[in-house]
Structure 1
Amino acid sequence: MARQSDSPNARSDRLRLSVLPGSAPTAFALQPDAETRHALAEELGLAKLPKLRFEGRLHPEGRGDWRLEGELGATVVQPCAVTLEPVTTRIDVPVIRRYLADWQEPAPGTEIEMPEDDTAEPAPEVVDLAAVMAEALSLAIPDFPRAEGAALGEQAATPPGAAPIAEEETKPFAGLAALRARLEDDD
């Protein structure tokens, strides 16, 4: 799958929390090979994924909690959302996850608010670093990449003999604002 860190603590992309040292961070470094990058590029709908690395540390916190702090670096190639030309984007983003041993799932049907801390999740038996890397990459890639100078043109579709509708005419509240201004002027 990947070149791993030389650290004796990071021998795999799957780290079993119960066997990690509870007093020191565990370093990790993933750099997937070409075959793995190609498979991930296909899964994410990318044209190419020439570079990808994910490295960081898994820190013990308190009794059974863990904090993953990492850095994701990637170069992705996607089709331009306007022209379909290849667009290359460099991604360098921090990745933070908190694995909590005392995680409480809400009861089914319970209405809950979105938590402020979106990095927290239940502590798994095994942290799958490749899955964390893939998720972080999928969240970081641009939704609608654009080639330099690519712009959406304006189109108008009207029946023969009809006048095209101007953009201002599609904004009904702009007309109401003008009417209100005229009524206030009359007062």
Structure 2
Amino acid sequence: MMEEPIEFSRPLRVAGVPRAGHRLALSATAPERAALAARLGLLALHDFSADLALSPDSLGGVEVRGSLSAEVEQACVVTMEPVRQSVREEFAFRIIAEGQEPSESPDAEDEVETVAGHAELGEVLAQLLSLALDPYPRKEGAELPPEASDPEASPFGALLQLRQAKKE
């Protein structure tokens, strides 16, 4: 089975992180932003970047702390008009050493596995962006029509009336 290409690929050689740590700034190119926008269902991804602080841990992995920022354009859930929003997200995760098992504790920091000595930072950042997006973007001043808030006027209004009649 063929793997899907990664739109924003930024592999990190885990063993290459210096003991003193390393700062890293990443940003997506125009073609990468277009591919990510298509994948995430965005109208556009105008900017996408991240600043990371990498520190090796005692188990052969790497602690990663940082922030991402993006300028996204989504369709308004009411009018379908474009809504431009800024996304800013702080994050922390741990890259685990190759062969190490991920923690099963629900309280554990998010973990990223290492494959062939590398961790795919770009894919992790793309996933963090997808989680930070507004699931219901709404253009300023956009309101649902009055009938949308009336349960009896909705397509399920008749079912609601039948259910209430059955209870009586």
Give TM-score scaled by structure 1 length: 0.68
Q: Do the aligned partners of 1:103 and 1:121 also contact (CA within 8 Å) in 2?
A: no
Q: 1:166-181 residue pairs with structure 2 within 5 A? A: none
Q: CA RMSD in A?
A: 3.1
Identify which of 145, 152, 156 aligns with 2:137.
145
Count of residue correspondences: 151
Aligned to 2:70: 74
Is there any run of 5+ residues in structure 1 with no aligned partner, and where?
Answer: 1-11, 107-111, 159-163, 177-187
Q: Percent identity?
A: 32
Unaligned runs of 5+ in 2: 1-8
Select the structure with the greater relative contact order (CA < 8 A; seq sep ≥ 6). 2
Q: State how far apart, in whole Å, the 2-side matches of 1:56 and 1:105 are.
A: 22
Residue equivalent to 1:32: 28
**SS of 2:93 mapped into structure 1:** strand
1:50 aligns with 2:46: yes
Q: Which has the larger radius of gyration?
A: 1
Contact 1:69 1:95 in 2 (8 A): yes
TM-score by length of 2: 0.75
Q: 1:170 to 1:32 in 2, by over 3 A?
A: farther
Provide the rounded CA distance (Å) in 2 between the counterparts of 1:15 and 1:52: 18
Residue 15 (str. 1) matches residue 15 (str. 2): no
1:128 matched residue in structure 2: 120
Please tell me whether the aligned partners of residues 113 and 119 of structure 2 are also in contact (alpha carbons under 8 angstroms).
no
**After the TM superposition, which segments of 4 or more aligned residues of structure 1 sit over 4 Å from their partners?**
169-172
